[in-house]
Chain A
Amino acid sequence: MAPTATQAAGSAPVFKTKRPLPFPLNIYQSAIGRKWVMAWTGVGLLGFVIVHMIGNLHLYEGPSRMYEYAETLRDLGGGLLPRTLVLWIMRVGLLGMFLVHLHSAYTLKERSRLASQRAGFIGGAKKYESKRDYIAANYASRTMRWTGPIVGLYVLFHLADLTWGWWLGDAYVRGDPYHNVVESLSSIPVAILYVVANVALAVHIFHGTWSMFQTLGVNNPRYNGLRRNLATVLAGVILVGNLSFPVLVQAGLVDEDNRDCPINDTTGLECLAEAAEAH
């Protein structure tokens, strides 16, 4: 009989236990708790994506309605709170959720990488020497680690493009979102980038929506089938809504022929404000 190597290597922990932090923070120290936080921040970010998509549909009502929508966002809280305060609170909250979502995703990925025998974790999965045969893992679930960063980079571009105006340069008119969107999306490379990023976003949401129910333990065998349906519908609606902007601008169906106001940040904005007032 061949010599058999026996050693208790399997009983050696792969990860060290960290000193527990005080109560709510210790939840984030464990992988399940961290995943739970990732799911909740995912819920928040998904809520933003839905509201953002629906709000952007004002684009189809023309320049003055779009202007009115943007102004409404800045005036949230009515006259009770300083102008743009509520908007800034939401922005900071959103940024916080985004950073926590990112941190939890990255650290959990690292944990899985270290727990797999092969350090080569490219493609986001443990490597076997022979070909793996996936059964349940779908394209969306296996590419979360790629669609996530794609969406993250796209968000940076999106901000530089339509919030900071860096991309459009002189053509950017602060306070005239209709013009900025149409101007930006008229460029073919930008439109392609928006399409690719929003497909990645929809794929990310498809797995994320189903996954968060599982992670948060929202599970009832009677309704479990509905979770996949909800994920499909949500991802589909968000995809169609978000893709409609670059596609319709490129198709020439959304353009600036319908505007009565000039495009500049002085008389143009006054004209838009008057038009919005008249609604």
Chain B
Amino acid sequence: MSGTNGQSQHNGQSQHNGQSQHNGQSQQSQSGTLNLTLRIWRQDGPDAKGGFVTFDAPGVSEDMSFLELLDIINERLIDEGGVPIEFDHDCREGICGTCSLMINGRAHGHEVATTTCQLHMRKFSDGDVITVEPFRAKAFPVVRDLVVDRSSFDRIIEAGGYISVNTGAVGDANLTPVPKEASDTSFDAAACIGCGACVAACPNSAAQLFTSAKLAHLNLIPQGQPQRWERTESMVETMEQFFGSCTNHGECTEACPKEISLDFIAFMNRDYVKAKIKNRKLAGQN
């Protein structure tokens, strides 16, 4: 899902910026533009040595998103015959989990509960120097520039992030009662978009928040019960092939654009030890 930006996209956006420049700026400066300096991580490939490259970004509209700012810089780079900066992006409406970036030392920037694509330049001040770095963890190797390979998350999902029991023919509606609290909490967990900000923010490179959200999403509702213990053991142990160990700092939940709660990690810790005992009984050993 990574890639450079097509020319057409830029044209569309620069028109958009022109039109909306004076909307919703009651508390902003009169000009509505910022002069910024960006220090962006550039790396030619997975094994290449990377480093920061400084770009000037004069006249940045406050209505741009952070990704649109990168688009503008890339447009200029292409015009100058340079190689555009690669970064991950897809939906640009905060729901796909594709965009990443450590912006000034924080995953997805300093705004609470916001993905990089929804981080607007009005949240920065004129003259700011913004440092942009890719998410870092051993299991998130840099592909190029700001793009990292987060397929280790796919390995965790493959290990049990689904329900695969036969459900037979379509049953009557409401045949399976789901307590309101359970469905609400499950939904809170299901809000995880798998962007990897938790791993990026974690000083231990642990993926507890992601895995626990994916587990709680299914383990809290009746439909998830048949595979609950198998799923818990399998997903946790797959996670542990890739990621570090949680020390309960709480950085993950602060970085999470979907504000997934640390409580899910406690839930996973409890379920994992239970699963080790239950699975042993299920296997008929005693």
Name A residues whose Cβ lies closer than 8 Å to a Cβ of B.
Answer: 1-2, 4-11, 13-17, 23, 26-27, 30-36, 108-109, 111-118, 124-126, 128-137, 141-142, 144, 207, 210-211, 213-219, 221, 224
Contacts and interface: CB of A to CB of B under 8 A. Distances in A.
Contacts of A136: 249-251, 253-254
A106 to B, nearest CB: 11
Contact of B236 (A7, A30, A132, A133): A30
A141 B249 contact: yes
A102 to B, nearest CB: 15
Interface string B122-137: 0000000001010011
A125 to B, nearest CB: 3
B245 A11 contact: no
A34 B244 CA distance: 12
A15 B139 CA distance: 10
A112 B285 contact: no
Nearest to B199: A115
Interface stretch (B24-32, B38-46, B57-65, B223-231): B38-46
Contacts of B267: 217, 219
B206 A115 contact: yes
Interface string B94-128: 00000000101110001000000000000000000
A35 B242 CA distance: 17
Interface residues of B, number: 71
A274 B148 CA distance: 75
B102 A130 contact: yes
Interface in B73-112: 83-84, 86, 102, 104-106, 110
A230 B271 CA distance: 24
A132 B248 contact: no
A92 B141 CA distance: 45
Query: Which of B149, B150, B245 gathers the greatest number of chain A CB atoms within 10 Å?
Result: B245
A-B pairs with lowest CB-CB distance, top 9: A217-B270, A10-B149, A125-B203, A112-B244, A219-B266, A115-B244, A136-B250, A133-B105, A112-B204
Given A133-B106, A211-B247, A117 B254 contact: no
Contacts of A36: 269, 273
A211 B266 contact: no
A117 B136 contact: yes
B154 A33 contact: no
B66 interface: no
Contact of B249 (A14, A31, A137): A137
